[in-house]
Every structure is written in C-alpha cells, then in structure tokens.
C-alpha cells in the first residue's frame, strides 16, 4: 500500500455512497500530500458555510493545522453531483491547499499582530485569500496537465 495513503483517515460519518470512491481518489492523488502532513482526515460537512456564516455550495474545503502536522478535507453535498473527472480535480485542489496553506497561515498570523485598522486587515485578508485560491487552482491545473502528459 502507498505510504501516503496510510495517512488518509476517512471518518465513519462520510456517507457510504461517496466514501467507497474516496480511497481510490486519494490514493491516485496522494503524491500531492507534503511530507510535513502526517495525516489527512476526511470528514463530511452536510451544511458547509463560507467565512461569513452563509450557506456555501462548495463541494469540499480544507483546513490545515501545520503546527500539529495534519489537515482535514471536508466533503460537502455538492460533491455528489460532480463527474468523476471533476471529483478528481476537486481532490487535487484540496490537497494542493495543504501545500500552500503554511504560507497564507503565516501571513495571516503576522497581519494579526500588526496594528492595522480592522477594515484594512479585512481587505488584506480577503485579497490574500483570493490570490492563494488562484495559486492553488493554478497548481491543480499544472498537476492535471502533468497527468495528461504522462498518459500520452
């Protein structure tokens, strides 16, 4: 078994109609998980919310705990409606966040200790988050392109 896949723990509350397909998706993409991450916990979030507490239609999201060396990937209801190819891209994207998160998390920590006005802080956090999301999407595209090239 892939050593990286041993790092994946799928929570028992993930609905069985998707949990049976997740091990294959994570095994295929386990090479993306950086060595610092000792475990990826996969959970189910039936009612995802955005940063403002509003309902979200995101198919998945990731929360990393760099200092504790683990990450959590939450699978959400809209994931079920996605094609096999889209699910693969979503998992790549979420695992890509594990790579990029230490950078953004550190910047957010630094911003918190600076004496900035709340509005300025919020604008900076928002724009940084948007740029990091874009970088993660670019990483996902590169990974997909590399897989396509490898198949040819």
- pLDDT tens digits, residue range 88-138? 999 999 999 999 999 999 999 999 999 899 999 999 999 999 999 999 999
3-state helix, strand, coil in the chain (%, to 5): 60, 15, 25
- Is the torsion defined by CA of 58, 143, 37, 11 positive or negative? positive
- pLDDT tens digits, residue range 39-95? 999 999 999 988 788 889 999 999 999 999 999 999 999 999 999 999 999 999 999
Report the pLDDT value the prediction gives residue 1, as an integer from 0 to 100.
39
- pLDDT tens digits, residue range 18-47? 888 899 999 999 999 999 999 999 999 999
Torsion of CA 18, 24, 26, 32, to 10 degrees: -150
Length of the chain: 152
In the sheet where 70-75 sits, what is the strand order?
Answer: 8-10, 39-44, 70-75, 60-65
Structure tokens at 126: 């928002």
């Amino acid at each position: 078994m892939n050593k990286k896949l041993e790092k994946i723990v799928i929570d028992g509350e993930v609905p069985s109609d998707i949990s049976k397909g997740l091990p294959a998706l994570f095994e295929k993409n386990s090479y993306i998980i950086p060595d610092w991450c000792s475990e990826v916990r996969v959970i189910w979030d039936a009612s995802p919310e955005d940063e403002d507490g509003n309902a979200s239609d995101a198919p998945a999201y990731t929360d990393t705990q760099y200092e504790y060396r683990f990450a959590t990937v939450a699978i959400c209801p809209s994931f079920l409606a996605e094609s096999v190819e889209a699910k693969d891209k979503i998992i790549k994207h979420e695992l890509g966040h594990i790579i990029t998160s230490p950078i953004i998390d550190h910047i957010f920590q630094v911003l918190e200790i600076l004496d900035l006005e709340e509005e300025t802080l919020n604008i900076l956090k928002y724009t940084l988050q948007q740029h990091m999301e874009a970088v993660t999407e670019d990483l996902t595209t590169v990974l997909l392109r590399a897989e396509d090239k490898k198949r040819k």
